[in-house]
Amino acid sequence: MSSSTSTATRVTPPRAPDSPYPGSLVPVSEIPGDFLMRQRVTAHYPGRTLSFDAALQKQGDTLTLLGLTPFGTRAFLLQQRGVEVSFTSYMPGDAPFPPRYMLLDIHRTFFIGLGRPPAGDGERRGTRDGEEITERWERGRLMERHFRRLDGQPEGTVDVRFVDGMQGHAPPRTIEFHNGWYGYALTITTLAHQTLAAPGHEASDAPPAPAAP
């Protein structure tokens, strides 16, 4: 993946929430298709902002997130195999929160939903793992997804907005993620998205295709 220089000031990420981040991961084998996405993530915390480039890849039974420094070198490697999580940091110091928390944000954005697209537009609701999930669809595209804990712990919602809508498994160029449980927001810009060949099949040599504007 190509490197880029962050325009944000390098800051220390916030400490871990006082209460555990609830939720469960989708087993990687249940995530359809294999893919590689190049992304730029801008994290907004009270009084601070930081940005980094990342590559998110799912192939076979492994989901991998590689985070890069502003200089294009490796910052961390986060992997999920099945539902087991491993993390390697290439930077000094410990992670400020369990790496699994990052995966929960990724899963709520891309993988945890209400199944197949509805027949028509509008809003629909369902529950999973102690959470109410609400989705809003327009013209066959997923526009928003919201998560609320049924026990109210934590209070509030986690909200995901798919700018221009998400159709199928290809992400829109911009996704806005707001975690009202712990008071931070992410802007995820997809720079490129590539479908990968399944294990045992010949992979394409074509470079990742830019995301649709």
pLDDT at 115: 87
Task: Give the pTM.
Answer: 0.83
Stretch 149-155: mean pLDDT: 95
pLDDT at 203 over 60: no
- Mean pLDDT along residues 124-140: 96
Return the HEC string of the chain. Answer: CCCCCCCCCCCCCCCCCCCCCCCCCCCHHHCCCCEEEEEEEEEEECCEEEEEEEEEEEECCEEEEEEECCCCCEEEEEEEECCEEEEEECCCCCCCCCCHHHHHHHHHHHCCCCCCCCCCCEEEEEEECCEEEEEEEECCEEEEEEEEECCCCCCCEEEEEEEEEEECCECCCEEEEEECCCCEEEEEEEEEEEECCCCCCCCCCCCCEECCC
Give the pLDDT band of residue 199 (cuts 50, 70, 90): low
Q: What is the mean pLDDT of the chain?
A: 86
pLDDT (0 to 100) of residue 70: 86
User: pLDDT band for position 105 (50/70/90)?
Assistant: very high
Quick one: CA dihedral 177, 102, 131, 44, positive or negative?
negative
5 — phi, psi (to 5°)?
A: -95, 125
Predicted pLDDT of residue 4: 37
22-49 average pLDDT score = 94
| pLDDT tens per residue, range 85-102 | 999 999 887 777 789 999
